[in-house]
Chains A and B, each alone.
Chain A
Amino acid sequence: MTDSSAQGAIGGDIMRFVKSNIRDYALLLSLLAIMVFFQFSTNGTLFRPVNMTNIILQNSYIVIMSLGMLLIIVAGHIDLSVGSVSGFIGAMASVLMVSNKVDIYSSAVLCIALGAFIGGVQGYFVAYHKIPAFIVTLAGMLIFRGLALTVLGGASIGPFPPEFQLLSTGYIADPFNGAIGEKPFNILAILIGAIVTVAIVFFNFRHRQNQLSHGLAEEPNLIFMGRNILIAVAFLGFSLLMARYRGLPNVLVVMFALIALFVFLTTRTTFGRRVYAMGGNEKAAKLSGINTERLTFLIFVIMGGLAALAGLVFAARLNVATPKAGAGFELDVIAACFIGGAATTGGVGKVVGAVIGAFIMGVMNNGMSIMGIGIDYQQVIKGLVLLAAVIFDVYNKNKG
């Protein structure tokens, strides 16, 4: 009797916890379900090492921009200009590196600074003149699309210097020269994967210990263990896949570092806390002594810098700057954030959610292309997924 009731209580705890965090679980499960679905419908192509590597490379620029977009959406704004800005910066990079032979490091720094400046100008109008971000960035979208055309003179400029291409096509070399039989096997990738996994699990456990010692652990033990096992399996499995192709792509490292930085920024720092407070209630935040104008300005600067970086990654990947580069990126980036659980009203959203949202879109793009579904239906399906995600959110909110 006591046993079964105790068990019932534990089961109840788990149910309650899952229910109150249903959005996070649903998101993760959707990604898993989508991956499993495409693994089967593409006859196992999805999880092939070369394809997984491709998915990372194809989506890196969307993920990078979705980090900044999440801040903007949490703050209660929107940025429609990121696609055009990234295209414009790609064009600038080609003019600097290809036409004017400026060295790639100075060019990259200049380009990112220019992106941050563009973000700053837009942020200035949003923050200090209270012009709706929708309008300012819609204008920016048109302006920088036009400027990209102007800079490129309507043509494509390329190819980029080989060292610059490495940003998107290079891999971290394996000092161990590992191999399984004939095939190369990147031991460094496995090592890094293992180290990262151990580090994440270690921090999770330490955090858990801290919580337990203060009687704060809301997450049931079972779920905590399951979550860590899932993290370990995902990271190790993923690094195994990477190792069997060519190792860790450079851009993956950049992306991962940025994700870690933004998770830290949003969850642990006063800056992140203030952004959430401002998005939740701007007036209350202002009256609590938060400089909301400067904060808004800053997040647009960050967004501009990230859009510029994404533009460089994209240009390096294509190895050419085209006037069309970046067209429509803003929609994918914004969709990633909303699929990831950000609220249109501001104040709600997680970095990890936006990243998973971006990968849901990316895996779907990849899987549908392999299956041979036309671009027309791909758009329809992606639209429906976005709609479903937001309907799920609204339904959940009304019920809760």
Chain B
Amino acid sequence: MQPVLEMKDITKTFPGVNALDNVNLTVMPAEIHAIVGENGAGKSTLMKVLSGVYSHGTYSGSIIFEGLERQFGSIADSENAGIAIIHQELALVPLLSIAENIFLGQEPARFGVINWFEAFERTVGLLKKVGLKEHPNTLVTNLGTGKQQLVEIAKALNKQVKLLILDEPTASLNETDSNALLALLEGLRAQGISAILISHKLNEVRKVADRITILRDGKTVDTINADGEMGEDRIIRAMVGRELTDRFPARNATIGEPVLEVKNWNVFHPIHGDRQVVRDVSLTARAGEVVGIAGLMGSGRTELAMSLFGHAYGQKISGEVRIKGKPADVTSIPKAMKAGLAYATEDRKTYGLVLIDHIKHNVTLANLEDVSNNAVIDDLKELGVANKYRKDLAIRCSSVFQLTVNLSGGNQQKVVLSKWLNAEPDVLILDEPTRGIDVGAKYEIYGIINRLAESGKAVVVISSEMPELLGITDRVYVMNEGRFVAEMPTKEASQEKIMRAIMRSWEN
């Protein structure tokens, strides 16, 4: 059988870096082909070459799609050929309807006058295909991320796509939505549509993919069949190029007195004041302890954390917070920081970093007082602080004057952590600290969390990845619909137990 896509000996260099080095990729018709690799391995670059973002001539090697050699000059060229790419950051216009988005740039029109009846009918058909039960006139902004992704896929299907590229499609989806999306891919495969799936989540890759290509440092390491010949550990090893005997570093913290105590915490939605988002939550975190909060998307974990951190979320907040035994005022962010709290956000690009500024300025931002005298910044002291964290946290960069926008996800996260370590808090709340980060960097972040706990701080970790929570915490709270529905020592916890606690809370 002739492959639908062959990429041969693709080499792409940026000044000073070989981003892709003779990479080969073959995708068969009706195949789901996964590409895995650490951040910076070249996955995104390869997809940009394929989709025409990097036009023909800026790379060497050839692309053969449906038997013809192609020279894409732009995204429009690759789309016309039948290749559609769906990015992590969705490219929909929020204030237009589903139908308007699907037909944007492809409007069924005669002399420039749009036939909305036809667009509407075809949208209904497309939405049925992708299994989205929404009215075509619904504004995209009113849809969740999972549904928006389905709209993107519907849009691609409308363009008679033959090869669908999905870049981390499930990164921000909960389990139900992820499963639905993966099932949809399988359904499309049955109709003869191929897909390239880029993902960090090996379990889902192994579930749906036919073959897996592993990239490392811009080179193809291997292409393997997904069904079983290689275990997850061996794939990880191939990705990182070294033995990862243990995915979680060992912990040996001595747990001391309670540092953070929250009692009867209640939070209401900032706009819809009658909707209670956090209900009667009580939480304790001790010195040297790593406490996890498990739960599905929308269970109220981030809302809990942000409301604790200076009432940064919500209204009509009530409850009691004690830090090191003393009542703490957390009614504004500066007050909460003064009381000893720090919160590292789940969305480091939007809420964590000043991307257009360099590492040094980002590291000291939350504690400028420390590097200044009478509001005048001591440049050299600041530099010393930045370099210290660069070394301690192994931030990989050309210098601390590198802009944070140019760092990989893992290193960006280390800069965010540096910022909060530099603020010298007693309690660190880390919201999805390893989202979108490759396996190697994850291990390093876990190590940092351990060191924090060992130095006597209390760490609260919010995570959607249950293996991670089970691997790095001492105790886990399970949250659902704004409540803590269970609490268990990690030794006694398991994924099944956590899921069961969530399910049981729904039954009540």
Q: List chain A positions with a Cβ less than 8 A from chain B.
A: 210, 214, 216, 218, 268-271, 273-274, 276-277, 280-281, 283-291, 347-348
- For residue B419, CB closer than 8 A to chain A, the reply is yes
A270 to B367, CA, bound (A): 10
Indicate if the CB atoms of B375 and A284 lie closer than 8 Å.
no
Of the candidates B355, B356, B365, the one having the most CB atoms from chain A within 10 angstroms of its own CB is B365
Contact of A289 among B333, B351, B352, B379 (CB under 8 A): B333
A7 to B310, CA, bound (A): 56
Indicate if the CB atoms of B355 and A281 lie closer than 8 Å.
yes
Could you tell me the distance in whole angstroms from the C-beta of B193 to the nearest C-beta in chain A? 35
Q: Which residues of B contact A290 (CB under 8 A)?
A: 365
Q: Which residues of B contact A283 (CB under 8 A)?
A: 350-351
Contact of A288 among B365, B377, B380, B401 (CB under 8 A): B365
Residue on B nearest A283 in the bound complex, by CB = B351
Indicate if the CB atoms of A348 and B365 lie closer than 8 Å.
no
A214 to B132, CA, bound (A): 60
Q: Which residues of B contact A288 (CB under 8 A)?
A: 365-366, 419
Q: 16 other contacts beyond A271-B375, A289-B310, A289-B337, with CB at 8 A cut-off?
A: A268-B379, A269-B375, A269-B377, A270-B377, A277-B361, A281-B354, A283-B350, A284-B350, A284-B352, A284-B354, A287-B312, A287-B333, A287-B352, A290-B365, A347-B354, A347-B357
Residue on A nearest B416 in the bound complex, by CB = A284
Q: Which residues of A contact B401 (CB under 8 A)?
A: 218
Residue on A nearest B378 in the bound complex, by CB = A268
- For residue B383, CB closer than 8 A to chain A, the reply is yes
Given A270-B375, A287-B345, verify A214-B361 contact (CB < 8 Å).
Answer: no
Indicate if the CB atoms of B353 and A284 lie closer than 8 Å.
yes
Could you tell me the distance in whole angstroms from the C-beta of A138 to the nearest C-beta in chain B? 24
Q: List chain B positions with a Cβ less than 8 A from chain A.
A: 309-310, 312, 332-334, 337, 343, 345, 350-357, 361, 365-366, 368-369, 372, 375-377, 379-380, 383, 401, 419, 423
Given A281-B355, A287-B343, verify A269-B376 contact (CB < 8 Å).
Answer: yes
Of the candidates B354, B369, B401, the one having the most CB atoms from chain A within 10 angstroms of its own CB is B354
Q: Which residues of B contact A274 (CB under 8 A)?
A: 368
Residue on A nearest B354 in the bound complex, by CB = A280
Q: Which residues of B contact A285 (CB under 8 A)?
A: 354, 365
Of the candidates B355, B357, B372, B380, the one having the most CB atoms from chain A within 10 angstroms of its own CB is B357
Q: Which residues of A contact B365 (CB under 8 A)?
A: 273, 277, 284-285, 288, 290
Q: Which residues of A contact B366 (CB under 8 A)?
A: 288-289
Could you tell me the distance in whole angstroms from the C-beta of B6 to the nearest C-beta in chain A? 32
Indicate if the CB atoms of A273 and B356 lie closer than 8 Å.
no
Indicate if the CB atoms of A280 and B377 lie closer than 8 Å.
no
A286 to B355, CA, bound (A): 15
Q: Which residues of B contact A280 (CB under 8 A)?
A: 354-357
Q: Report 17 cross-chain contacts, Cβ distance below 8 Å, ordered by A residue.
A: A268-B379, A270-B369, A276-B361, A277-B361, A277-B365, A281-B350, A281-B354, A281-B356, A283-B351, A284-B352, A287-B345, A288-B419, A289-B310, A289-B337, A289-B366, A291-B334, A347-B354
Q: Which residues of A contact B334 (CB under 8 A)?
A: 289, 291
Contact of B383 among A216, A276, A284, A347 (CB under 8 A): A216
Residue on B nearest A290 in the bound complex, by CB = B365
A333 to B480, CA, bound (A): 54
Q: Which residues of A contact B383 (CB under 8 A)?
A: 214, 216
A268 to B373, CA, bound (A): 11
Q: Which residues of A contact B355 (CB under 8 A)?
A: 280-281
A270 to B379, CA, bound (A): 11
A104 to B370, CA, bound (A): 43
A1 to B401, CA, bound (A): 33
Could you tell me the distance in whole angstroms from the C-beta of B381 to the nearest C-beta in chain A? 11
Could you tell me the distance in whole angstroms from the C-beta of A399 to the nearest C-beta in chain B? 12
Indicate if the CB atoms of A210 and B357 lie closer than 8 Å.
no
Could you tell me the distance in whole angstroms from the C-beta of A22 to the nearest C-beta in chain B? 16
Indicate if the CB atoms of A281 and B372 lie closer than 8 Å.
no
Indicate if the CB atoms of A268 and B377 lie closer than 8 Å.
yes
Q: Which residues of B contact A216 (CB under 8 A)?
A: 383
Could you tell me the distance in whole angstroms from the C-beta of A23 to the nearest C-beta in chain B? 14
Could you tell me the distance in whole angstroms from the C-beta of B480 to the nearest C-beta in chain A? 26
Residue on B nearest A218 in the bound complex, by CB = B401
Indicate if the CB atoms of A214 and B333 lie closer than 8 Å.
no
Q: Which residues of A contact B369 (CB under 8 A)?
A: 270
A117 to B369, CA, bound (A): 29
A190 to B369, CA, bound (A): 41
Indicate if the CB atoms of B356 and A268 lie closer than 8 Å.
no
Could you tell me the distance in whole angstroms from the C-beta of B104 to the nearest C-beta in chain A? 24
A283 to B377, CA, bound (A): 23
A281 to B355, CA, bound (A): 8
A186 to B218, CA, bound (A): 68
Could you tell me the distance in whole angstroms from the C-beta of A295 to the nearest C-beta in chain B? 12
